[in-house]
Amino acid sequence: MSQHTPPERERRLTVTGLRAMKGATRRIVAITAYDVAFARLVDAAGVDVVLVGDSLGMTVLGHGSTLPVTVDDMVRHTAAVSRGVERALLVADMPFMSYQADPADALRNAGRLMAEGGAQAVKLEGGRQVAPTIERLVGAGIPVIGHVGLTPQSVHAMGGYRVQARETVTALRLLDECRALAEAGAFAVVLECIPAELSEVVTAEVAIPTIGIGAGAGCDGEVQVLHDLLGLTEQTPRHASRFAEIGGAVVEAVRRYAEQVRAGEFPAEANCTRMEPAVVEELRRAVGGREGPEE
């Protein structure tokens, strides 16, 4: 166990606790959640970070990208998740155009995610160009995680969801972006869809924890979209694995429910509430004494 490896946590993970996991042998485990039911489950599983990702645009709201997600969407889902998380660090994504136009907007919107949503930190996409915004947020007491590589809010600028920084020039640029984020005060950075060798370099060169998704196993931690892992999405991205087939289990359960309702088998006696026999008698007498509907 390295000097920085924390013991199994009893209390809630904090930003400083996560920051201290840099370089530890125990890797950071992060996962998304978007509602209270899954928040409770992932928290009970002992993850370190629960991210209310703007991926909820696709996984929960049915959009084709993260771009239509609003601050109100994020506040509502973050608040729901916060009611189910007791131990993990709760991080909320800042959605498209909630921080790009103006640092003052960013401050207001991040403030809502913390005050109304109950987030302990926010995550935003971009490199050097968002550094002044990060400084502003951090200066106001709002902890920030950066996100570089494949940044889904820039899907159109990137020409699709593709692996980034495969060449020396772009790889060095990405390393520079990560340094800028760390200097601006970000306490961790998500590396999405970049070559594994580059993640290793960034992890070695940058002082803050790196959390990979589609970035190989050389980061300080890993983040995944819950729905990809549970088999709740139609397609599984290459960087994810299906650890369960919950989608199939849901279809099967609802099919059996429908079958039993149609067969008159559900609800069963055990699912019903019965009146006291005296009350039933009284009710029958009262109904029997009344005129029935006219034929």
Question: What does the binding site for ligand KIV look like in residue numbers (CB under 6 A)?
Answer: 32, 51, 53-55, 93, 190, 213, 223, 225
- Tokens matching residue 93: 């994504």
Name the nearest CA neighbour of 207 among 20, 46, 67.
Answer: 20
Smaller CB distance to ligand KIV: residue 53 or 126? 53
Question: Are the beta carbons of 36 and 79 closer than 8 angstroms?
Answer: no
Q: Which residue has the tokens 């070559």?
A: 195
Question: Are the beta carbons of 68 and 17 closer than 8 angstroms?
Answer: no
* In the complex, least distance from residue 29 CB atom to ligand KIV, rounded to whole angstroms: 13
* In the complex, least distance from residue 149 CB atom to ligand KIV, rounded to whole angstroms: 10
Smaller CB distance to ligand KIV: residue 73 or 289? 73
CA dihedral 69, 73, 75, 78 (to 10 degrees): -90
Q: Which residue has the tokens 């039993």?
A: 260
Question: Are the beta carbons of 50 and 33 closer than 8 angstroms?
Answer: yes
Looking at 192, 265, 291, 294, which residue is catalytic?
192
Contacts of 260 (CB under 8 A, 6+ apart): 266
* In the complex, least distance from residue 66 CB atom to ligand KIV, rounded to whole angstroms: 6
Smaller CB distance to ligand KIV: residue 51 or 88? 51
Smaller CB distance to ligand KIV: residue 122 or 131? 122
* In the complex, least distance from residue 25 CB atom to ligand KIV, rounded to whole angstroms: 23
Q: Which residue is nearest to ligand KIV (CB)?
A: 53
CA 259, CA 277: separation in Å to the nearest integer?
32
* In the complex, least distance from residue 69 CB atom to ligand KIV, rounded to whole angstroms: 9
- Whether 192 sits among the annotated catalytic residues: the reply is yes
Return the bridge partners of 72, or none. none
Annotated catalytic residues are 192
